Amino acid sequence: MRRLNPLSGALRVGRGLLQGAFFGVIAGTTLAGFLGLPPAAAPLLVPALALVLGGFALARYYRFTYEIEGDTLRVESGVIARQSREIPLGRIQNVDSRQGVVNRVLGLSVVAFETAGGATTEATLDAVAESEADRLRRLVQRHGEFEETEPAGEADADGAGASADPTARADERSGRVDSEELFNFTTRDLLTYAVVSVRPAAPALLLVGLPLGIDALLTVIRFNLGLVGARPTVSLSVLDALGPPRLVALVVFTALQFLLAALVLSIVLTVIEYYDFRLVREGDDLRYERGLLRRYSGTIPLSKVQTVSIRENALMRRFGFATLAVETAGYSGGNRESGQGVAIPMAPRPVVYDLAADIESFGDLDFERAPTRARRRYAARFAIVAGVVTAVGYAVDTFLFGSGYWWLLLSLFLVVPPAAHLRWRHRGIALDDDVLATRTGFWRQTTRIVPYYRVQTVFVGRSPFQRRRDLATVTADTASTSTIVGGSARAYDVDDERATQLREILRERLYSDLLARKHDRDA
């Protein structure tokens, strides 16, 4: 059995000592105040807790062992309660590694083994040398090929049985995996992607950080008060003296500045996450590397792909770019930080579609739109939203501001017809010879491509509002993680009879595709 890298043990012990010292200071100060201990007694808790937590970290390091034995990854851990896990290599979907700033300096990697059992990590090695991380990844990557080329129990030419160490055989062959670079980010590509792919989480992060930057916030508000002709002093009396027009102008200026700051934050986060992004094909797997402060790398096994998604927001469509995301069973491309299983963050649409077709073969996708009565349904829905917003705005203006400008919200009804048309136009379903494709979204359009043989369940749903217009939603579920959180391939507001017909067609193609693949394997 192998242990983690000794430097990893030293880091664990160091963190334990610092944490123990920190809690010792807090505990000593608290107990001295409540129990009336002498001042000299409190500092004694600092080295005591530091030694306890540091010793526990050292024990955890020595009690954590791992090894690949035959076709199984075995991991043993635990100081008080011992745990032993055995993970079949054939069940491992992905081997991901990441490096923080300290680990990059020390040449260490944290290795995570993902299986198809869900979105949680099955085993994590924190941390091993980079060469060891690469060895483990290649062992798992080549395991299937070794099983096919060297069946268990088959004797070699010298008469020795197949009991030879498979790890040694894997090590001999792991260096001969053909690799081909498919995509990389130049600095210009990275900055372009950072600008056109605004992160929705950036405003929320900015709001969370506002209490920490209260002085900067007050400076901005004083500046805005000067812009609208008021005294640059933050107080309720100054706000009351502004009057409705200048108060509205103040709110507009502040909102624009907030959105600009959120955009800058989004750009910074994207640059940090996708710096030096590379996508490489190694045998039958895709391998990615990315990250500035923290370096991430991992594999996407093409043989286990469940869904291929092509994403385009409005800006990306305008300039002809798209994002490619690949999902395997219970896994989304090793990208939990952003919630996306990204294989290519951004590239010209033809490049993205060519790679998607290389992963899962398909031809030109001819999307079938929903019937026009679905567009009337969208118009009614958006009109209700506009009415609610207008009513709320009227109440707020009447009881708080008294400006009389609430009627400006009525302009929202002018947006209802084009919004309904755009939603209807950007939804559809396409049936290719080998795949099912669905498309939805205007601001962020997503095209999901699912091979028939990966479909787990097909069902037709009808809400009360859809039944009024003889419409239905067709859903094709796969084993990917996105289906758990509502990311299944869905065709919205299909004609009711057509939805039933699509369900039967998908079922027939699923069975025929599975039989064809079984016949090919047998042949």
Residues in the chain, overall count: 523
| CB-based contact 410:451 (threshold 8 Å) | no
- Residue by residue, DSSP assigns 47-85 as HHHHHHHHHHHHHHHHH-EEEEETTEEEEEE-SSS-EEE
**Domain-located, residue 207:** yes
> What's the CA gap between 55 and 297, in Å, rounded?
32
How confident is the model over 421-474, as pLDDT tens digits?
999 999 999 999 889 999 999 999 999 999 998 888 888 999 999 999 999 999
Could you tell me the two tokens for 413? 């009804």
User: Are 59 and 91 found together in one domain?
Assistant: no
Q: What are phi and psi of 62, to 5 degrees?
A: -70, -25
123 within a domain of the structure (yes/no): yes
216 & 169 share domain: no
Provide the mean pLDDT of the chain.
82
Of 151, 177, 203, the residue that ends a domain is: 177
Same-domain pairing of 128 and 198: no
177-206 residue pLDDT tens: 577 888 888 898 899 999 988 888 888 888
What pLDDT score was predicted for residue 446?
93
Indicate the pTM of the whole model: 0.78
Better-predicted residue by pLDDT, 229 or 493: 493
Q: Can you give the pLDDT at residue 156?
A: 42
* Residues 254 and 206 occupy one common structural domain: yes
Give me the domain span that covers residue 133: 86-177
Find all residues with CB under 8 Å of 127, minimum gap 6, and list them: 4, 5, 7, 8, 11, 103, 108, 109, 110, 111
Q: By 3-state DSSP, what share of the chain in percent is helix, strand and coil, each rounded to 5?
A: 55, 25, 20
127 in any annotated domain = yes
In a domain, 346, yes or no: no
Of these ranges, 115-124, 259-268, 380-389, the one predicted with the greatest mean pLDDT is 380-389
Q: Are residues 28 and 90 in the same domain?
A: no
pLDDT value, residue 405:
81
Q: Which residue among 150, 177, 204 closes a domain?
A: 177
Same structural domain for residues 96 and 173?
yes
Give percent of the chain with pLDDT exceeding 70. Answer: 83
Residues 165 and 198 in one domain: no
Residue 503: both structure tokens together: 């369900």
Q: Which residues contact 246 (CB under 8 A, 6 or more apart)?
A: 228, 229, 230
Structure tokens at 371: 């019937």
- State the pLDDT confidence band at 35, using cuts at 50, 70 and 90: low
Which pLDDT belongs to residue 168? 44
Last residue of a domain, one of 232, 257, 274: 274
**92 and 52 within one domain:** no
**pLDDT at residue 226, rounded to an integer:** 77
Question: What total of structural domains would you count in the chain?
Answer: 4
Query: How far, in Å, CA of 363 to CA of 356, rounded?
Result: 11
What percent of the chain stands above pLDDT 90?
Answer: 31
Q: Does 429 reside within a domain?
A: no
136 shares its domain with 93? yes
Same domain, 155 and 232: no
pLDDT of 138 higher than 50: yes
Of 124-128, 211-215, 440-444, the one with minimum mean pLDDT is: 211-215
Q: State the Cα–Cα distance between residues 494 and 424, nearest whole angstrom.
A: 11
Helix then strand count (H, E) for the chain reads 16, 20
What is the predicted pLDDT for the residue at 33? 63
Q: Which residues pair with 447 in a beta bridge?
A: 310, 439
User: 162 and 231 in one domain?
Assistant: no
**pLDDT, tens digit (0-9, with 9 covering 90-100), for 394-405:** 998 888 777 788
**Cα–Cα distance for residue pair 292/289, rounded to 1 Å:** 10
- d(CA 176, CA 171) in angstroms, rounded, equals 10
Examine residue 3 and state whether it is found in any structural domain, yes or no. yes
pLDDT of residue 236: 65
Q: Which sign does the torsion angle of CA 201, 207, 213, 219 carry?
A: positive
Based on the fold, state whether residues 99 and 170 are members of the same structural domain: yes
Please report whether residue 307 resides in a domain: no
Residue 263 inside a domain? The answer is: yes
